[in-house]
Amino acid sequence: MRAATALIAAVVVAAVVAAAPVFAYPAITCGRISVAGQTYIVKSHGPSCPFAIKGLKTFMAHKTSPRLYKCRRYGPNIPAYCVGTGKYSKRYFFATKP
């Protein structure tokens, strides 16, 4: 009985450890951008910084999301938050007020 319990616990721990690296690192700071006289800090988790900066500027200016991403506004403090779709679903980038 104890061996079965230990085996189940080991399997659960292995599953948690295997899933942890996906979100183990925070979003990286790509820098600052200015749009319509406002300054924002850009952060990215997955896409490259140039892609994130260009995508955010385009979304804020024209309300057009980059290909394979869906962008939304979350009020004045987060004017753009883009999440990947399909196989890019764990990738995202966003802009915040400093």
Report d(CA 66, CA 18) in Å as an integer: 30
Tens of pLDDT along the chain (98 residues)?
A: 555 444 344 434 444 444 445 557 888 999 999 998 999 999 999 999 999 999 999 999 999 999 999 999 999 899 999 999 999 899 999 999 99
Strand 92-96 and strand 80-84: the pairing is antiparallel
Token pair of 72 as six digits: 């939304």
| CB 17 within 8 Å of CB 41 | no
The pTM assigned to this predicted structure is: 0.73
